[in-house]
Structure 1
């Protein structure tokens, strides 16, 4: 059982400080901890190009592995998987599965009943955006790309009061693209605005089964409601047949829990105050 973690950029033989607690918990649980040079992996200008051969630290460990680290583009994750295969290490989540969980178009259709209505573009041009607006219709929307919103810049780069207002909508999209810059992924996504009445909770799923319910990393101090209802979401997440994902849920004003984000669990942040052993213990059987 192998856990891959980012190395500290200044002390490459140690895990990145953000993941140090996970490294210690993993060793206590019997994982082999192997460090990855995240900066070298993410550096190539071509996101689909090969990874440097020295991306992964030397190790004698072989077998199944999970990655826990900073977000990677799908092409860079595939490059990491290729380097690992040469060392007889197999990521438990394949590159195809990673892309499906990490990018909204990969999971949206399967979760459409429990997530806001969405349309998206391929690329970031105005013409494609206008076609997406026409398909969306009218009314308020939240803008994002395939992997991330700019919710911390909600009024200027996320919220569109009426998608039918072409110029106002494009101003928000332009600001979003400016802020995302070279981190923009895939295309522009319009998601129907819904009214929520709770903080987000992060649910963790291993092989389609709920393993943990935690606070969201953006609100680690908010208590997790005792009555989070997974009955609608659980069969849909299970049907995805993905090894390790997170689903961020929030309560809508009509009392239904809604999925606002699905993500690959390997690059989903663990909120402060959550014991890393609780998460890693759930991964240990899945790595066999």
Structure 2
């Protein structure tokens, strides 16, 4: 098993500073570590991006977010070198984009509708389909939650003009990073900070804070009983599930993401992270 991390832009043979601690922990745990050129991946030159990766073997990526088509090109370039990413391209898209996982988790996550473009008419249809009341806006992969009132929170779905103003601002902020289409999610009231859980092959391996609130540690009991069989049914190798407790006491899924590109909060030690996740990934792989 090999860990692939982005290269440091200034010292291309070294891991990027953001992932250096995980790379060091992986080496200490006995994993091979190699660097990839993230800029080359995002600029359409995947063969150059993986030029420093040793030939052969199975790899797990821990790095910056990639669009689904970039990840596919990444996987194909690695395959030329005889390297197989543990998470396949279709699995990555399923985890990375909300339409890929939503139906499997619909019972435990806010009701959602989406478009396949940035078209205003399509946005209006999605808005009408969701109904009335407040909603939260995002695209297939990301929200702009740090711009909550101007580009995320839709106070009233029946106010078409105001809702589109929010959508237009979201488009402006996301610019070329806009992915897939608009996603509208029914607004729910939560009473806790988000909790980030890490899963390998349907089993929760680690529970911690969300990277945005690393010091808001999760409570002793996080309700996973209902969620676990639904995550397991997705049959994905390595994912994160972000949860929060709703005001009625029920734990709800805020987001599912591919674990390779989900950030680790600073309050999780990188050695604990590697031990809990990469090692369990290897054990699960050997059992299959």
Verify same fold: TM over 0.5. Answer: yes
Equivalent residue for 1:245?
239
TM-score (normalised: structure 1): 0.96
Deviation at 1:61, TM superposition (A): 4.9
Q: Is the 8 Å Cα contact of residues 34 and 57 (structure 1) preserved in structure 2?
A: no
Shift of 1:223: 1.9
Q: 1:193 offset after TM fit, Å?
A: 0.1
Work out which of the residue numbers 197, 200, 203 in structure 2 matches 1:203. Answer: 197
- Give, in angstroms, the shift of residue 59 of structure 1: 4.1
Query: Contact between 1:208 and 1:239, CA under 8 Å: does it hold in 2?
Result: yes
Distance 2:83 2:273 in 1: 21
1:255-274 → structure 2 map (5 Å cutoff): 255-274=249-268
Instruction: Provide, for residues 206-242 of structure 1, a one-character-per-residue CA deviation record: whole Å limited to 9, x for no partner.
Output: 0110000010000001122111111111110011100
Report Cα offsets for 1:86-123 as digits up to 9, x if no partner: 11110000000000000000000000000000000011
1:39 paired residue number = 39
Aligned-residue offset at 1:286: 2.3
Report the equivalent of 1:217. 211
For 1:181 and 1:59, locate their aligned partners in 2 and report how far apart those are by CA, in whole Å.
Answer: 32
The correspondence for 1:135, drawn from 129, 137, 144, is 129
Distance 2:174 2:219 in 1: 32
Name the CA distance, whole Å, in 1 between partners of 2:53 and 2:96: 28
Query: Aligned to 1:75, what secondary structure does the other structure show?
Result: helix
Maintained 8 Å contact 1:211/1:279 = no
Contact 1:142 1:192 in 2 (8 A): yes
- Whole-Å separation in 2 of the counterparts to 1:121 and 1:4: 34
Q: 1:284 and 2:279 equivalent?
A: yes
Which residue of structure 1 lines up, in the alignment, with residue 60 of structure 2?
66
Could you say which residue in structure 2 is the equivalent of 1:180? Answer: 174
Residue 46 of structure 2 contacts residue 74 of structure 2 at CA under 8 Å; is this kept in 1?
no
CA contact (8 A) 2:205 2:280 kept: no
Q: CA deviation at 1:58?
A: 2.7
- Tell me the distance in 2 between the aligned counterparts of 1:15 and 1:4: 9
Equivalent-residue separation in structure 1 for 2:264 and 2:281 (angstroms): 19
Matched, 1:89 2:83: yes
Q: How far, CA to CA, are the matches of 2:228 and 2:46 in structure 1?
A: 39
Match of 1:6 in 2: 6
Count residues with an aligned counterpart: 282
Q: For 1:273 and 1:115, locate their aligned partners in 2 and report how far apart those are by CA, in whole Å.
A: 26
Which one of 227, 236, 240 corresponds to residue 233 of structure 1?
227
CA distance in 1, matches of 2:202, 2:141: 21
1:23 lines up with 2:17 in the alignment:
no
Equivalent residue of 1:147, what SS?
Answer: coil
Aligned to 1:35, what secondary structure does the other structure show? strand
TM-score relative to the length of structure 2? 0.96
User: Displaced runs of 4+ in structure 1, greater than 3 A?
Assistant: none
Q: Which stretches in structure 1 are left out of the alignment for 5+ residues?
A: 45-50
Quote the offset at 1:279 in angstroms.
2.3
Report the Cα distance in structure 1 between the residues aligned to 2:70 and 2:32, rounded to whole angstroms: 23
Shift of 1:125: 0.9
Describe the SS at the equivalent of 1:225.
coil
